[in-house]
Amino acid sequence: MDRDYFGTDGIRGRVGETPITPDFCVHLGWAVGKVLASEGSRMVVIGKDTRISGYMIESALEAGLASAGVDVNLFGPIPTPAIAYLTRTLRADAGIVISASHNPFGDNGIKFFDADGNKLPDEMEIAIEERLRQPVVSVGSEALGRAYRVDDARGRYIEFCKGTVNRGLHLRGLKVVLDCANGATYAVAPGVFSELGAEVTVIGADPDGTNINHECGSTHPATVAAKVAEVGADVGIAFDGDGDRVVMVDAGGVIADGDDMLYIIAKSGFMKGRLSGGVVGTIMSNLGLEQALTTCGIPFERTAVGDRYVLERMRARAWELGGETSGHIVCLPLTTTGDGIVAALQVLVAMVEGDRSLAELRNGMRKLPQAMVNVKTSDPAQALASSVVADAIRDLEATLGDRGRIVVRPSGTEPVVRVMVEGEQADEVGRHADALAAVVRQANGA
């Protein structure tokens, strides 16, 4: 069944425009509540990032859920993976995250977890969409849901993150810069790393409702790299707005993206006998990652872009590590979703156990140059359906042969078509990506 509102990662859009409006969010809360109530469920947890619009959306969802007879536990600003964890540990029936992740503050979204901390199954999303086609009808006063503020949610999550590291291991002697993107990790990440013994310098931890992801965090790694150089740190760690992504920089300011981190975690786990199975990446993962893992004897498979697809393949293969170039890293059985803090800790564990720097740990992987161009469009499907675009892709694939790869796909979070070209020469890759992007732009009438 086609979905009117759900995308690859919940519901997302511009604040004030459908579907991110107060009336729709009340309706959505009611629809979710009715679906849960029909299954005998009575309690939902809600967390959010630091966008000013989160207050409006939180209140609207709370009203809708209460009108359906469902209780609500409110966590306030807290990372997305914390919601997945706390949904499980508090025995909630579902978890809701109000966030647009790495997007600007003018966007927002609503993401959902089931009782086990996993993304909602298709059948539940469809059931919610069906309820959204019905008018809101409140239960009687005696059956209304109640709302509670949970004051110790952040502390619970800090202890969880620390518990993902062996109790005998500490980070003393490591100088770490944390960039919290003025987002959901601002009141959590500093405590995790400092309590494990690291000497921590924190930036991007002064959210004002409008500065989330603004020239900071994982989408602007030059900011944390500059701070690493300024204070002479060993490593920099930059999260995105809701804390489910992370990128790192070494002491020399060189960026380590999700592919680098997957390689380091996988190889370290393999050498220590901790890695179960292989690694799942996506169609965007660098060919260099696949080649490096193969050299180590570690299996590697690709799936569609999106952490839910990565997780599905991991479970199908009974593997415990997967992720995306963007920095979504899933470490089973520690987490059920991408967790920036947990992933960064796994890299630091590899550094400490191997007594090696971040730069030294990733030396075994040679990444091929990639060029990514985002083409803004109101109708990505129209552009991708063009025969002109298909011909251009086919011609470029013939030109590259087995020396490179091409991926052209619609974004699941923004109204853009992403054009990626990978090959042996950076200048050639850039020219090909620009040329192909121009064809996509022209096909969409832009």
Catalytic residues: 101
Counting Cα atoms < 13 Å in the Cβ hemisphere of 219 gives 16
Say how far apart CA 306 and CA 191 lie, in whole Å: 29
Q: Is the dihedral of CA 119, 120, 122, 125 positive or negative?
A: negative
Say how far apart CA 347 and CA 351 lie, in whole Å: 6
Say how far apart CA 34 and CA 26 lie, in whole Å: 12
Beta strand pairing call for 370-376 and 246-250: unpaired
Strand partners, 7: 10
Euclidean distance between the first and final Cα of the chain, in Å?
A: 31
Q: Measure the CA angle with vertex 324, ends 116 and 347; round to 5°.
A: 85
144-to-57, 83, 127, 190 alpha-carbon distances in Å: 19, 24, 21, 39
* 159 CB-near residues (< 8 Å, 6+ apart): none
Question: Among residues 241, 204, 210, which one has the least CA distance to residue 224?
Answer: 204
Say how far apart CA 97 and CA 83 lie, in whole Å: 7
Say how far apart CA 371 and CA 286 lie, in whole Å: 11
Contact 44, 95 (CB under 8 A): yes
Say how far apart CA 407 and CA 365 lie, in whole Å: 21
